[in-house]
Amino acid sequence: MKDEIERLLYHEADLLDSGRFHDWLALMAPELRYWAPVRAAVSRKDEQHGEATRLPLFDETKVSLGLRVSRLETGIAWIDVPPTRTRRFISNIMADRDDDGSVRVKSNFVVFRSRGRGEEWFAVGCREDRWFQGPGWLLKERKILLDQSTVENLPLFL
């Protein structure tokens, strides 16, 4: 199972890096939650306790991600003018099957983004996913935990 999950995550990263956003959206379950809680300056064991009460950096659905993809396709989305070059590195992949048949996946990532002259940006963190297997794999939830204490110019898809 772990090899299959690794190939899935690498495929997902390639879709995003190649700008194949509609193909990426096809990996999302209709009831998707795609979110990033604000990280708190507390101990690691206490960090999740207040997570539900803090305003997230973003909290998306498949519909809202689809709207973002549609906006990118207009060619006038400021986030992509001039066009960005993006590279994702996924590592430390761990996968465990739950009783309901879903697979909980934890992975680390580095995202490098550049555009124009000298504008470069990195994001580092981990992702906690829930994937379901039907006719294909579908992502039902992704929680993104960024390691940076301040975030600006966040890329649309991590």
pLDDT, one tens digit per residue, over 100-126 is 989 999 999 999 988 877 778 889 999
What average pLDDT does the chain have? Answer: 86
75-91 tens-digit pLDDT? 776 666 667 889 999 99
| Both structure tokens of 23 | 């193909």
Q: Where are the domains of the chain?
A: 2-146
Alpha-carbon gap, residue 7 to 82, rounded angstroms: 31
Confidence of residue 41 (pLDDT cuts 50, 70, 90): low
63 pLDDT above the threshold of 60: yes
pLDDT value at residue 152: 67
Give me the amino acid identity at 95: A
Nearest to 142 by CA among 106, 113, 114: 106
Averaged pLDDT for residues 134-155 = 84
CA angle 5, 65, 131 (to 5 degrees): 20
Phi, psi dihedral angles at 64 (to 5 degrees): -70, -35
Residues linked to residue 109 through DSSP beta bridges, in sequence order: 90, 125
Task: Say what the pLDDT of residue 1 is.
Answer: 85
C-alpha–C-alpha distance, residues 30 and 98, integer Å: 20
- Which residue intervals of 18-77 are DSSP H helices? 21-25, 44-47, 62-72
Residue-level pLDDT at 53 = 60
Give the separation between CA 40 and CA 71, rounded to whole angstroms. 32
Q: What is the pTM of this model?
A: 0.86
What is the pLDDT, as a whole number, of residue 153? 62
Looking at domain 2-146, its CATH class is alpha beta
Task: Give 141 or 153, the one with higher predicted confidence.
Answer: 141
